[in-house]
Amino acid sequence: MSMDFLKSIRIAAGGLRAQAGRMRISAENIANASSTAQTPGGDPYRRKIPTFRTNFDRELQATTVQLGPVRQQPGEFQTRFDPSHPAADARGNVKIPNVNSLVESMDLREAQRSYEANLNVVTSTRRMIQRTIELLRV
């Protein structure tokens, strides 16, 4: 029975690590939402997208989740007319990052909820282990 408890904790811990990575990436995107290029006509910050991958853990005999490779969002950048900006091109346009702060905030909130769910699994499993130990002492 205790192996099942440890299995639950290890699976949830993998989820915690994956969601923590997801939150870090969203926070980085939000922090760079207004980061433009340093040179005229250069590309600004490009939004990063977390991916996940599953992994079969032979020791646990269970599938776990991990943060996969971080990708960059493809596509063109929007521009803003600001001829006084150091990154402005010859026409006075500045490329702006392809980060939507509202989308990032929602992704961050979803990652936080998933993180909390995994944390609840760890906490509940820990309580069950403690209760089992208390019952065995009696």
pLDDT band at 60 (very low <50, low <70, confident <90, very high): confident
pLDDT tens-digit readout, 80-126: 999 999 999 999 999 999 999 999 999 999 999 999 999 999 999 99
Q: Write the DSSP string, 14-77.
A: HHHHHHHHHHHHHHHHHHTTT---SSTT------EE--EEEEEETTTTEEEEEE---EE--SPP
Entry pTM: 0.86
pLDDT band at 2 (very low <50, low <70, confident <90, very high): low
Q: Where are the domains of the chain?
A: 2-35+51-74+100-137
Give, in degrees to the nearest 5, the angle at Cα 17 between 11 and 21: 145
Q: Which residues of 56-84 are buried (b: 16+ CB within 10 A; e: fewer)?
A: eeeeeeeebbebeeeeeeeeebeeeeeee
3-state secondary structure of 84: coil
Instruction: Quote the DSSP letter at residue 83.
Output: T
